[in-house]
């Protein structure tokens, strides 16, 4: 999977490739989908949600490029796959992950235990407000699409930190990378993506989804 679907499409970060090669994606899927775990596709994880296509997980992780001692916030725990990959990259740091659906979060927590990932903190709730008591974060990864970057998340970015977030409407989004610099916030796009929506009464009015 890593060679055929990820490295071949230009993801070069060796640590990201190595961690993904060592992560059993089938453990994050319902039993009837485990045979498809290494397909080049997103897959349903229940409750209308999805585990992203492996290439997109790699693209987002490589765009965030966390350092070993970084504190990283993920919004949208889902299956826990992305958080588990982040946890193995920030071995001397910590991953904070927020999910609004309790059923999904309970299953993800079980997977983190099974993988002995002890550097992940979980929280149930609206991730658009961030995790103020653990802020600031060196990296923030949002794995659900938003009409714009939630202000609370940008505020919780450490100086020099990076936020990766799909921005757009329900049909398609751009993967946007915000980089905090001494002269302000820089922004670039890493390509088109398609995510389920970030649901937040706090951050967006329903009509902003167009």
Which residues inside 114-173 make contact with ligand SAH, applying CB under 6 A? Answer: 126-128, 143-144
Task: Extract the tokens encoding 206.
Answer: 């329903």
> What minimum distance in Å lies between the beta carbon of 87 and ligand SAH?
12
Q: Binding to ligand SAH by residue 104, rule CB under 6 A? A: yes
With contacts defined by CB under 6 A, name the span among 16-24, 74-82, 151-159, 177-185 that binds ligand SAH.
74-82
70 is a contact residue toward ligand SAH (CB under 6 A): no
Span from 15-23, 49-57, 64-72, 178-186 in contact with ligand SAH (CB under 6 A) = 49-57
* Strand partners for 179: 162, 186
Q: Which of 98, 152, 164, 167 binds ligand SAH (CB under 6 A)?
A: 98
Q: From the list 5, 53, 79, 122, which residue makes contact with ligand SAH (rule: CB under 6 A)?
A: 79
Which value, to the nearest 10 degrees, does the dihedral of the CA atoms of residues 157, 158, 160, 162 take? -30
Coil, strand or helix at 71: strand
Catalogue the E-assigned strands of 25-172: 43-46, 49-51, 71-75, 94-99, 120-124, 137-142, 157-168
Interface residue with ligand SAH among 13, 52, 63, 122 (CB under 6 A) is 52
Instruction: For residue 81, state whether it binds ligand SAH (rule: CB under 6 A).
Output: yes
DSSP, residue by residue, 139-202: EEEE-SBBSS--HHHHHTEEEEEEEEEEEE-SS-EEEEEEEEETTEEEEEEEEEE--PBP--TT
Please tell me which residue in 8, 52, 79, 183 is annotated as part of the active site.
52
**Residue 189 bears catalytic tag:** no
Tell which one of 2, 6, 29, 50 touches ligand SAH (CB under 6 A). Answer: 50
DSSP secondary structure letter of residue 90? -
Sign of CA dihedral 124, 129, 134, 136: positive
CB of 143 to ligand SAH, least distance (A): 4
Residues annotated as part of the active site:
52
Residues that bind ligand SAH (CB under 6 A): 49-52, 75-76, 78-79, 81-82, 98-101, 104, 126-128, 143-144, 196, 198-200
């Amino acid at each position: 999977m890593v060679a055929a679907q990820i490295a071949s499409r230009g993801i070069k970060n060796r640590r990201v490739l190595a961690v993904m090669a060592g992560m059993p994606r089938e453990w994050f899927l319902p039993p009837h989908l485990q045979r498809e775990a290494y397909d080049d596709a997103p897959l349903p994880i229940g409750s209308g949600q999805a585990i992203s296509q492996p290439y997109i997980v790699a693209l987002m992780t490589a765009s965030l490029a966390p350092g070993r001692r970084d504190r990283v916030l993920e919004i949208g725990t889902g299956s826990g796959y992305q958080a588990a990959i982040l946890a193995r990259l920030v071995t001397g740091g910590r991953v904070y992950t927020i999910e609004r659906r309790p059923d999904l979060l309970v299953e993800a927590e079980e997977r983190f235990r099974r993988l002995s990932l002890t550097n992940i903190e979980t929280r149930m709730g609206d991730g658009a407000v961030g995790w103020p008591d653990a802020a600031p974060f060196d990296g923030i990864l949002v794995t659900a699409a938003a009409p714009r970057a939630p202000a609370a998340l940008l505020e919780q970015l450490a100086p020099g930190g990076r936020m990766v977030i799909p921005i757009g409407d329900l049909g398609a989004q751009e993967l946007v990378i915000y980089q905090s610099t001494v002269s302000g916030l820089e922004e670039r796009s890493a390509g088109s993506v398609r995510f389920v929506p970030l649901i937040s009464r706090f951050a967006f009015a329903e009509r902003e989804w167009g």
